[in-house]
A and B are shown apart, each in its own frame.
Chain A
Amino acid sequence: QAVVTQEPSLTVSPGGTVTLTCGSSTGAVTSGHYPYWLQQKPGQAPRTLIYDTSNKHSWTPARLSGSLLGGKAALTLSGAQPEDEADYYCLLSYPGAWVFGGGTKLTVL
């Protein structure tokens, strides 16, 4: 199965902007991979923030946005808040399989 790659860790300053990316071993990530972005905080189940590249749930903060950027899926956080510190996972859909990335540990410091 394909391998999905993410930055292992990133740090952003409060109020700053950061972009997390999600690549695929099979080539460019496209809308056909229906990219998802999930957030997980310690001791909690994950929850989806972005689905189908750029669609937000009702609970998704406006400061988060999803896109395709340079052959990868991207999650951009503009105006980071302390509560954004968490693990972020990208999920891509392939024929007959879904694959998670290894996750990005985002520190707000």
Chain B
Amino acid sequence: EVQLVESGGGLVQPGGSLRLSCAASGFTVSSNYMSWVRQAPGKGLEWVSLIYSDGTTYYADSVKGRFTVSRDNSKNTLHLQMNRLRAEDTAVYYCACMWMVADYWGQGTLVTVSS
């Protein structure tokens, strides 16, 4: 059974850092396109980041230079390092394997940026 489990969310002060993790089972993270998608409270979906199977990474303009996506192949886990956090980064963060026939989503982890 395919499963994605996010962790690492929580409350952080503006300017702080947080590292999200997404543990995968039932498929191989490094062989797939993996994304981070976020949703601010009461708002729509926002694409955040993408890592291709070849390791190429892409970011939304809103997080470029502050967020870094990576993967730990030995643990079949995706990460999102978030630095210089702002209030507008407050959202539920989903990891997803979403490309063509694949469509796997985690349950989401809440990140709250507030003093």
Contacts and interface: CB of A to CB of B under 8 A. Distances in A.
B45 A96 contact: no
Residues of A contacting B: mostly:
strand
Interface string A21-45: 0000000000000001010100001
A19 B11 CA distance: 40
A79 interface: no
Contact of B47 (A40, A57, A100): A100
A66 to B, nearest CB: 14
B106 interface: yes
B102 to A, nearest CB: 9
Nearest to B4: A45
Nearest to A38: B45
A96 B51 CA distance: 11
Given A45-B106, A48-B98, A89 B60 contact: no
Contacts of A1: 60-61
Interface of B is mostly: strand
B41 interface: no
A45 B107 contact: yes
Interface in A58-106: 87, 89, 91, 96-103
A101 B103 CA distance: 18
A46 interface: yes
B100 A97 contact: no
A98 B35 contact: yes
B105 A47 contact: yes
Interface of B: 35, 37, 44-47, 50, 58-61, 94, 98-101, 103, 105-108
19 contacts: A40-B45, A45-B107, A46-B45, A46-B105, A47-B103, A48-B98, A51-B100, A51-B101, A57-B101, A57-B103, A89-B45, A91-B45, A91-B47, A96-B58, A97-B47, A97-B58, A98-B35, A98-B50, A100-B46
Give the 5 A-B CB pairs with smallest separation, nearest first.
A103-B44, A45-B105, A48-B103, A98-B47, A100-B45
Given A1-B60, A51-B101, A91-B45, 11 more contacts: A1-B61, A45-B94, A45-B105, A45-B106, A45-B107, A57-B101, A96-B58, A97-B47, A97-B58, A98-B58, A103-B45
